Chains A and B, each alone.
Chain A
Amino acid sequence: MRRQRAFLGVVAVVCLILQFEGDLKLSALSTMLWLLALALTDRPQLRRLWMPRFWMISILFALGSGLLLGKPDWTLGPITLSTFGLKAGALMVFRGVFLFALMGWASKLIVDKDIQQAIQKMGMAKFSNALNTAFGFIPSFAERARAAPLAGRGEGIATRFRRIYLTAVDLVKHAVLLAHSLETPTPFVAAVVGPPGSGKTTLIQNVAKQLRAEGFRLSGIMQPAIHEGGARVGYQLCDVASGEVVNFARRAEHGFVFANEGWAWARSRIIASSAAVAGSVDAVHAGAAHSADAPVAHSVDMLVNNSLAHFVDCLVLDELGRLEAKGEGHLLALTLPPSLAALLVAVRQDCADEISKRIGPFTLRVAAGAPPDEVTRFIEALRSHLRDARLTPAPPPILKEIEK
């Protein structure tokens, strides 16, 4: 790949020199040489040159220059053209084709990952990080931007303009809030990683038990498996704070069938747990408002009335897998307040990278089934972090709009 790029780079330089000699023959030769190089090494680029509009315009330019430039000295039916103008036009077309093909190739180079590596090498790490984050934002912005031209469709011109204006203000506000959210420090994530059935939940239950025994307050959900005759036949959901248990999934012919009520129940617990970390009843309601689920909003109301505005040290989330890797599942309900000391998660091994991109890099990581001394070190590091976090003052108040 690199050799091919180097070869085309050398040919491009030679062709450029020939092209700017200003001679028609050399220009034609240079264009042919470049097209031949592309045909030998990068055929898709050559196919991209099939652009009827571009060719039409080029031919029109050539004819136009034959008509308008120089002394007319050549007759073609009723039209008198100048050979000087035609030659100039032909030169224009050859140069245009060459540069167009060259730009296509150069454009392809820019899309390469190498450019980002080059930026890193130049010591512009901040720019490179910003660029990576920006790439991640594009889909959500694209969704919003697409709606902008349609705002107020079918209404009067004044109303329509007003709606477009408000959409624009909303877009700008969204960008500002997104910028603010980037300033949030990444949470402390302690992850138990392993394939299905490797004992992640058992390990996370042990860790939670030890932490609770030392007086740390935990909240969140766990997802223990139901076994019958040694086989896994389903899953339950368990509220870490209250110990309440509900059924979540049963094995069917083609895998597990998850109950919608179970998802709603889990989301209500996660929303309430996050809010309990923030210590704010308003935030619980804000969390509920994010969910389109009526039962979630109802459960949150109940939880708020019942108790949950207490301090929580560590949020527990079990069984983060393929859905969470896509930002769905339990992550739909998760909020990460700055006062959260730690997030303890059990993550499926094949989804670990994607999930760490969404919730933050894993500060601590242990494999399910790791030797006991590794597990002890993991628990000790988490415990020591939670102890330190209790001594740290609360972060400054956040922007009003973000709270809303």
Chain B
Amino acid sequence: MGIQHHAKAPTSLFWPMATAFGALWGAVEITLGSFLHMLKIPFGGAILASLGAALLIAQRQVLPQRGLSMVTALIAALCKSLSPGGVILGPMIGITMEGLLVELALLVSSRFIGCAILAGMLAAMWTVFHKLLSSFVFYGMTLIELYVAVLQKAGQWLGHEGAGWWMALLFVGIISSIGAIGGIFGWRVGQDAARSLEIPP
């Protein structure tokens, strides 16, 4: 426990909310992120992205202001720079992009569950896109050709031409589902938190 500041009724909570949630997301990325990375849990990136999206969605249930998710993500991304380890630029770009996608999905309505699900799915899907994009940047078009060749070969081994593509689709489906669950989770957590803080709907 430290000094307790008795808060008064706020005038504008935009920046304080972005600060507090940015720090929270940053802390989750540093602690839980390292934990998932260390355990090499499958779909760890998607789980982390959907948690981040859940946090942003919960935040928007409490304060439905446009632009909040984006600013929060920028703060969280810079907080990630405290993370131990060599390369942090990639995760920082990832966090920023996830924030941007959640912001876009919640543009229509912050408190509509459909938008929350879409936000979660987009954030989780970004991890796949991010992987492909960074692979492209790192290794060039050759790697994408290699991925396609692997999918085709997998189809040949399984005795069905399109089997490889179906597997890829299944993979994307799992990632989207993780994101959707994160979206629903964030929406419910945010609604409950807002209710217990007696914030009007």
Contacts and interface: CB of A to CB of B under 8 A. Distances in A.
A230 B32 CA distance: 57
A334 to B, nearest CB: 5
B153 to A, nearest CB: 7
A357 to B, nearest CB: 11
Interface in A280-302: 283, 287, 290
Given A176-B197, A184-B5, A402-B7, A88 B142 contact: yes
B24 A181 contact: no
Nearest to A186: B5
B149 interface: yes
B198 A401 contact: yes
Contacts of B3: 327, 331, 334-336, 358-359
A64 B8 contact: no
Given A184-B7, A336-B6, A111 B81 contact: yes
A180 B10 contact: yes
Contacts of B92: 110
Interface stretch (B94-102, B119-127, B165-173, B186-194): B186-194
A312 interface: no
A395 interface: yes
Given A127-B71, A149-B32, A175 B8 contact: no
B81 A338 contact: no
The interface residues of chain B, by DSSP majority, are classed as helix
B104 interface: no
A179 interface: yes
B179 interface: no
Contact of B79 (A22, A100, A134, A395): A134
B146 A68 contact: yes
Interface stretch (A4-12, A163-171, A255-263, A371-379): A163-171
A399 B198 contact: yes
Contacts, number: 233
A29 B19 CA distance: 45
Contact of A336 (B5, B89, B138): B5
Given A96-B139, A142-B27, A358-B3, A133 B19 contact: yes
A399 B200 CA distance: 12
B31 A142 contact: yes
A126 B13 CA distance: 12
B9 A332 contact: no
Given A131-B75, A138-B27, A327-B2, A99 B138 contact: yes
A95 B138 contact: yes
A342 interface: no
Contact of A332 (B1, B74, B149): B1
A332 B2 CA distance: 5
B23 interface: yes
A130 interface: yes
Say which size band chain A's interface belongs to: 35 or more
A69 interface: yes
Contacts of A51: 86
A102 B20 CA distance: 32
B2 A398 contact: no
A278 B2 CA distance: 18
A18 to B, nearest CB: 14
Nearest to B153: A68
Interface in A60-113: 61, 64-65, 68-69, 88-89, 91-93, 95-96, 99-100, 103-104, 106-107, 110-111
Given A141-B26, A165-B185, A181-B7, 19 more contacts: A22-B140, A65-B143, A68-B149, A91-B140, A106-B89, A127-B75, A131-B19, A131-B78, A136-B23, A138-B26, A138-B27, A141-B24, A145-B32, A149-B35, A168-B189, A173-B197, A179-B16, A395-B9, A399-B198
Counting from the closest, the 5 A-B pairs by CB-CB distance are A141-B27, A137-B23, A134-B23, A179-B16, A182-B16
27 contacts: A61-B143, A69-B146, A95-B140, A99-B138, A103-B90, A110-B89, A130-B18, A131-B19, A133-B19, A135-B79, A137-B23, A141-B28, A142-B27, A149-B35, A172-B59, A172-B189, A172-B190, A179-B10, A179-B19, A183-B7, A184-B8, A334-B4, A335-B5, A338-B7, A359-B3, A397-B9, A399-B198
Interface of B: 1-13, 15-24, 26-28, 30-32, 35, 54-55, 58-59, 62, 71, 74-75, 78-79, 81-82, 86-90, 92, 137-140, 142-143, 145-146, 149-150, 153, 185, 188-190, 192-193, 196-198
